[in-house]
Amino acid sequence: MKVLRARAERFGGIVEIERPRALLHVDRQMMRELGYRDSPLWQLAEDGPLSAPREVHVVLSRRCAAGCRGCYVDATPDGAALSLEEARRILDQLAAMGVFHVALGGGEALELDYLFAVAEHARAVGITPNLTTSGLGLDADAARRCAVFGQINVSVDGVGPAYAQARGFDGFRHAERALRLLRAVKPEVGVNCVVSRSSFDHVPEVARLVKRLRLNELELLRFKPVGRGRGLDEELTPAQCRALFPMARRLVFRHRIRVKLDCSFAPMVFWHRPSKEVAAFFGVQGCVAGDVLAAVQPEGAFTGCSFLSTAAADARIPGAMAAAWPSGFAEVRGYPARAPEPCASCEYLALCRGGCRAVGSPDPGCPRVQEHRARRALPVLAT
């Protein structure tokens, strides 16, 4: 088993292996057995934030011609973008911090003529670049060049007419063609599907598409009321919040595909009381903004995740991200310690972390919060 990279953490370290592609958290003794020297971090208590994010979402631009009605970055055809040099310098800094993966996105990253140069630079500094795209404009040549990426997911929020209904334009044929072109190049191709109130019932059709095209994953992303989505009434209903995890389970069994849910769905999963030990081992967690995850916005803001707007630093300034990391996201990280009811007494709080900060705290999509509110009025603390 080949170890690609490793870095020390308070609890021991994080090790990246190639086959199977995985990030493993190991204890201090395992790090020693692997030949790593004792780290100064091992003098600290094992609990505490990571020394750096494991993955960073680099929002290369707010530039996209598609104009999706719920676009969370409010992308326009001439939106802001990081330059190639800025992106390279940011990747250099992230590599120095020990970041393992970056997710490149936008906007539509494929509209940037330097996207592949950014991805190649990430590889050169030891970071795995991954990509989310709408697939619009992807041709066979661009698909071949996409071999540089680790995982590529194409956004498909519905099949056929359901795509147009969800995104506001008819782009399904383009997305399906892009999936076929990419799948011919590499196996690590999947689908991102935003689950909203109106698209919920169409998710099984997307799962069938994933099966039919032999894609390696279906990732369900929760609709969040940010960007242009702020004006839409598309958050899941309480019944849908309860039905989400059982639906995902059915899709796994019925289609034998890998189904993943983004971190914002954690409260809707933990309400079904899965094994805490299994969840902890497989890294099932709620909001990991400013901990496992961080984001860089096109204007340079270094944020806890791409849905949060409070900047801890300007990522374009050399050293600023590393300097801000230890305490810059204390407010986001600290929610479990100051959580009100019903989070405070929830046995899953350490894993769930109170749900998605971009939606609200406590998370209004959590069935436990909904039940609590049904019994008594509960203030929502916006973040």
Partner 1 sequence: MKLRRGRVLQATFGCNPNSSSLGVDVTFLLFGSLLASTLALLLGALLRRNPQR
Residues 219-258 that bind partner 1 (CB under 8 A): 219, 221-222, 245, 248-249, 251-252, 258
Region class of 290: left (phi > 0), else alpha (psi between -120 and 50), else beta: left
- Between CA 1 and CA 7 the distance in angstroms is 17
Contact 272, 245 (CB under 8 A): yes
Angle of helix 115-124 relative to helix 84-97, nearest 10 degrees, comes to 20
Comparison of 31 and 320: residue with beta carbon closer to partner 1: 31
Residue 68: CB minimum distance to partner 1, A? 14
Q: Does 359 bind partner 1 (CB under 8 A)?
A: no
Comparison of 131 and 181: residue with beta carbon closer to partner 1: 131
Applying CB under 8 A, which of residues 41, 51, 52, 57 lies at the interface with partner 1?
57
- 242: tokens are 């309860």
Applying CB under 8 A, which of residues 47, 141, 233, 277 lies at the interface with partner 1?
277
Residue 377: CB minimum distance to partner 1, A? 29
Q: In this chain, which stretch among 5-13, 76-84, 90-98, 371-379 interacts with partner 1, using CB under 8 A? A: 5-13
Applying CB under 8 A, which of residues 280, 350, 380, 381 lies at the interface with partner 1?
280
- Between CA 325 and CA 329 the distance in angstroms is 7
Q: Does 21 bind partner 1 (CB under 8 A)?
A: yes
Determine phi and psi for 146, rounding to 5 degrees.
-70, -5
98-117 footprint of partner 1 as x/- string (CB under 8 A): ---x-xxx------------
Residue 312: CB minimum distance to partner 1, A? 17
- Of residues 308-347, those binding partner 1 (CB under 8 A): none
Longest dimension (CA), the chain: 58
Applying CB under 8 A, which of residues 32, 145, 177, 208 lies at the interface with partner 1?
32
Amino acid at 165: Q
Applying CB under 8 A, which of residues 124, 140, 147, 275 lies at the interface with partner 1?
275
Q: Does 128 bind partner 1 (CB under 8 A)?
A: yes
- Between CA 287 and CA 294 the distance in angstroms is 11
Applying CB under 8 A, which of residues 52, 71, 236, 288 lies at the interface with partner 1?
288
Q: Does 281 bind partner 1 (CB under 8 A)?
A: yes
Size of the site for partner 1 (CB under 8 A): 85
Q: Which of 350, 355, 353, 349 is nearest to 370 (CA)?
A: 355
- Between CA 192 and CA 202 the distance in angstroms is 13
183-222 footprint of partner 1 as x/- string (CB under 8 A): -----x-x-x-----------------------xx-x-xx
Strand partners, 218: 191, 259
Strand partners, 191: 154, 218
- 138: tokens are 């992807």
Q: Does 37 bind partner 1 (CB under 8 A)?
A: no
Comparison of 212 and 249: residue with beta carbon closer to partner 1: 249
Per this entry, what is the length of the chain? 383
DSSP-derived 3-state class of residue 294: strand
Contact 249, 96 (CB under 8 A): no
Q: Does 377 bind partner 1 (CB under 8 A)?
A: no
